[in-house]
A and B are shown apart, each in its own frame.
Chain A
Amino acid sequence: MRGETEGHGREPVRMPEIEVETRRRFEELALPHLKSLYRFASRLTGNRGTAEELVQETFLKALEAFPTLRDPARSKAWLFQILSRLAIDRHRREAQAVTVEVAEDLDHFSLYDLIWEEDPLPYSERLHDDFLAQFPDEEVRAALSALPEAYLAPLALLYAEGMTYRELAEVLDLPMGTVMSRLHRGRKILERELWDYAKRRGLVKTWKQST
């Protein structure tokens, strides 16, 4: 067991009594999404104990709001929306996007071009594939977790849940255009993280100053 918490540790909430039948229907609708919600929480927090706390909080909040859910077919998006709002509340300082100047730099970053220019594996016939093959799983996970939450949330949902841009816009309360640019920049930051890691590990002998 790694830091799972028993209960949610909050003061008892004053709210109208929830009927047994409502609890049963809620459980039936929400519990099948537990695995996906936990996976998302775990990506966002990078910590199993905190991820469970976030999921527990999500279920409680959702139970309280359950009578307002009009369309049960939307329950998955609705639960993810509650979780991502709670996560943003927890890390409000981190939930902002990068500044415009950084974003412009990022838009021009190209891992593909850097691999060509630096040629880190001179004897490779499949340079780009061989470059990627050198990364251990945990390093890729660490690179993703290092993303600011504004980019991590849409990417985690895209990769793990295969959500469409429309679904992402709904879950994350963002316009479609913002979803699109965050998915682009999030991947660019990830490319830069991988490149920085390769330099730190000495996979790339940088004889010239690269971006």
Chain B
Amino acid sequence: METEHLTCGDAVRKFFAYLDGALAGGSLEALEEHLEACLDCCERLDFSRKLDAFVKDRLGEEPLPEGIEERIRRLIENHGRREG
């Protein structure tokens, strides 16, 4: 079966799915074929990859509020308990 030929616009719309490992089969082949022939799209893809890594990196860790685990344990212990 012949691979689908993508325009640059089609290719760009598949970049994120490609970076997320969500492309397979003919869709993946079509994008890879386009990338082999299009330097502009390779550079665009490289920027998308960098931008993703950049955002992930900048988000950092979110420290847990002090005592949250204890508060949750207490809720689990007491929730729905009958009085007396």
A-B contacts, CB under 8 A, total: 118
Assess A26 versus B65: contact at CB under 8 Å? Given A137-B58, A140-B59, A164-B22: no
- Asked if B73 and A27 sit within 8 Å, CB to CB, the answer is yes
- Asked if A34 and B72 sit within 8 Å, CB to CB, the answer is yes
Interchain CA distance A183-B71 in the complex, whole Å: 34
State the majority secondary structure of interface residues on B.
helix
Interchain CA distance A107-B16 in the complex, whole Å: 12
For the complex, is B36 an interface residue (Cβ under 8 Å from A)?
A: no
Q: Which of B26-84 contact A (CB under 8 A)?
A: 43-44, 47-48, 50-52, 54-56, 58-62, 64-69, 71-73, 75-77, 79-82
- Asked if B55 and A55 sit within 8 Å, CB to CB, the answer is no
With a cutoff of 8 Å between Cβ atoms, the chain B residues found around residue A187 in the complex are 16, 48, 51-52
Set B55, B59, B65: member contacting A52, Cβ < 8 A: B65
Set A6, A13, A191: member contacting B79, Cβ < 8 A: A13
Q: Give the bracket for the number of chain B residues in contact with chain A.
A: 35 or more
- Asked if A159 and B59 sit within 8 Å, CB to CB, the answer is yes
- Asked if B65 and A48 sit within 8 Å, CB to CB, the answer is yes
For the complex, is B25 an interface residue (Cβ under 8 Å from A)?
A: no
In the assembled complex, the CB of A106 is this many whole angstroms from the nearest CB of chain B, namely 11
Per-position binary interface string of chain A over residues 141-168, scored 1 when its CB falls under 8 Å from any chain B CB and 0 otherwise: 1001000000000000011100011000
- Asked if B79 and A60 sit within 8 Å, CB to CB, the answer is yes
Set A64, A110, A135, A191: member contacting B58, Cβ < 8 A: A135
Set A6, A39, A63, A184: member contacting B16, Cβ < 8 A: A184
Known: A1-B65, A111-B51, A132-B51. 5 other contacts (CB 8 A): A7-B75, A17-B80, A56-B72, A141-B58, A165-B20
Which A residues are closer than 8 A to B by beta carbons? 1-2, 4, 6-8, 13, 15-18, 23, 26-27, 31, 34-35, 38-39, 42-43, 48, 52, 55-56, 59-60, 63-64, 107-108, 110-112, 128-129, 132, 135, 137, 140-141, 144, 158-160, 164-165, 180, 183-184, 187, 190-191
